[in-house]
A and B are shown apart, each in its own frame.
Chain A
Amino acid sequence: MKASAKRTLFVAFSAELTGYTETDLEGTGNVDSFLDLLEQQAGAKATARFYDAAMAVLQHGSAAARAEAMRIDVLPSPTVWPLCANLIVLWYQGYWPALSAAWYAGTGSAPPKGWSATQKIVPSAQAYTAQLAYRAAGAHPPGANPTGHGSWSIDPVFGDDAAQTRLSEGKIS
């Protein structure tokens, strides 16, 4: 796969996994460093399987069909789902939790140099400052992107109207 096609696929599948748009993800400035980190931590073989699964999901036009493809090709996969979960943590919280020893054994690849089971890799300060978890709730990462004096007294400003609508109803599951 050409680098540019891989990048496009990475962003599109990240959007599917995170629920943020491709524009949101590009806006973090973290696409390229996260793409590199995935390959570096997972190795070429598993990364290839990750992209195969991504293509299998994204070939479908409807959300329902993509969800079905996720259910069949991704969620049960002991290789691909842990990578997806890690990418979600990376986008949402700005760090990559170490893949388990069992994951490496299962995929037949060696852990990267310096690997330890409890490691949390923060690829850059920007990974932290552009994390998406707080943004989901109209907040911001502690210590970065402050919202201005007194802003905490009023409802937050959301990037998209849908987010606020989603918050207004429903029961906590």
Chain B
Amino acid sequence: MSAPHYDAVIVGGGVAGALVARVLSQAGRSVLILEAGITGAMNPDTYREYLQTLYTEGGVRGMPNGPYPWNAAAPSPGIPNAPEEYYKYDTPMQFMSDYLRMLGGTTLHWQGTSLRLVPNDFRMQSTYGQALDWPITYDDLEPAYRRAEAELGVAADVEDQRLFGVWFPEGYVYPMHRMPQSRVDHFFDAALTGRSVKLFGGNYPLKVISIPVARNSTPNPKYSLGEGYDAVPAVGDRDQGQRCQGNSVCMPLCPVQAKYTALKTIAVLARKPTVEIRTQCVASKLVIDPETGHITGVEYKHYEKPGGGKFRVETAHGTLVVLAANAIENATLLLASNAANSSGQVGRNLMDHPYLYAWGYSPTPVYPFRGPDTTSGVESLRDGRFREVHASFRASLANWGWSSEPGNQISLLLAQQTYGTALRRQLAHRMARMVKIGFMFEQLPAPTNRVTIDPRHRDQLGNYRPVLSYGYADYSLKGVEAAVKTVWPTITKYASVQDETVYPNPAPGGYQRVTYNGTGYNLMGSGHIVGTHRMGSSRKDSVTDRNMKAWDHPNLYVVGAGNQVTIGTANPTLTAAALSLRAADAMLRDLR
């Protein structure tokens, strides 16, 4: 019996793969999704177990991959209590961002921020003489952004989002109204309205605006010319998750699934007769016809038990092959297969948003630790002439005080033997005034920031583990300096915030110490893994064309945030979703 042949074999059951499968299956095409991880959270009982783990294992809280189990057969970085760290390094500087290999992918722990890139992000070279231009423009991607906003269920008001040339067709509204803004947002809004900051000779308003999020808010009845929008509830429970109810824990998981995860798309796919989803199947090699360059099969290892052990090697066949396994896993698989790399760009230009906190006490209570992680930001520094010399950035207003737990304050009070009513009062006093801003910086593509493979570093199934080289260029650090030395002091001045920011040396766990112009900063990653198989106008300097088809193989698509040429200052999932939908349209044309 010959193995079944699919119109498309998709590697990866996260948001990119799920959206491609959705478009192809809607057109009646047959699809196989190979997911390296376990079914996991797709099962509502297992989802609840992960929530219990969050309650009972203090060590996992606040970590993106907190409650998710280590899987030696398809390891993920950043799993608490893992027997070993999955990443290997070629540089002393570490890469602070992780992803999750499980059905539903990293959207299980993402925070849901769904900003569009701004037009100049697509033309950094022609506007600012930095990096290079994309082969497509904002205008090209705009229709796909709208489709992505529908698929993910984005809550925002168009009026807030028109900045730096971001445009919407007349009459467009987001599927849902913007998330209610927090007391923290109101505080900063009142303090900063009409204020501005000077950067590189320009004046930039410190305007607080709401952030688009893929999280259920109130559906907008005007959506889609008055058709309205139905909020998508929890997988397996229609009575849950139709609104964000303020669980204040979007990451590592939303207890009621009010936040979009790819599981919501996969639940629809699972009912389609032309879609097959196989979990515990780790793609290990693309089989290439040496004459034509066609991908004739995807070799994968199907392991029997969650966690690994025995496995069978099998091969899947499709007219098209689509890699949608996350920017790092796509790169390792291409490198392991010696595929798509005539440009030498596979794995290079790895980008993330270096992330930095600044914090203090507000003069009056703002009652944080409530609501989604962030509902507003100062977005006016996402573009400007300063990008000729330094990174643009966002300033995200944190709704959860200084951290997810008030433990440090309790330790300090107990060290002074404060107890009883005094303890309660002082703790409340501090917690109610904690404000924090997360600055998220642009990083430029650099060939030396990269993913490679090394035969010495393999996982339990013998697949290559990613070996990373990573560092921060002055362009980003100069942005960090502008944020810490100019923008934050301006904000604290106008908002009368008592600055409490310190960056201890050595940096605490989860942070990386960086010194620039004599000042030390502790940076984190953002989990925004971008750029390892960029698209381009020329096969000489890019991995795929403008439709995300590999230059070197007539039937191979590589999708996800790895296609991004630059990272800009938008959290990448919405763009990855839009790009995947655009790629799926091209696939349908190929299959015709």
Contact = CB atoms under 8 A, between A and B. Distances in A.
Nearest to A121: B58
A60 B406 CA distance: 32
B248 A142 contact: yes
A161 B249 CA distance: 27
Contact of A137 (B51, B247, B369): B369
Interface in B390-424: 399-400, 404-407, 410, 414, 417, 419-424
A149 interface: yes
Contact of A146 (B248, B367, B429): B248
Residue of B368, B372, B419, B423 most packed against chain A (CB within 10 A): B419
B182 A167 contact: no
Interface string B42-61: 00000000011011111101
B419 A84 contact: yes
A16 B421 CA distance: 8
Interface string B223-264: 000000000000000000001111111000001100000000
Given A89-B410, A93-B407, A136 B431 contact: yes
B56 A124 contact: yes
B59 A18 contact: no
A172 B498 contact: yes
Nearest to A126: B55
Nearest to B57: A122
Interface in A125-167: 125, 128-129, 132-134, 136-140, 142-144, 146-156, 163, 166-167
A96 B498 CA distance: 32
A172 B423 contact: no
The 5 closest A-B pairs by CB, nearest first: A152-B371, A19-B424, A139-B369, A137-B431, A143-B249
Interface of B: 51-52, 54-59, 61, 180-183, 186, 217, 243-249, 255-256, 361, 365, 367-372, 375, 399-400, 404-407, 410, 414, 417, 419-433, 498
- The interface residues of chain B, by DSSP majority, are classed as loop
Contact of B181 (A124, A129, A153, A166): A153
B569 to A, nearest CB: 25
B419 A70 contact: yes
A11 B186 CA distance: 40
A85 B414 contact: yes
A88 interface: yes
A148 B246 contact: yes
Given A122-B57, A136-B431, A148 B245 contact: yes
A167 B398 CA distance: 20
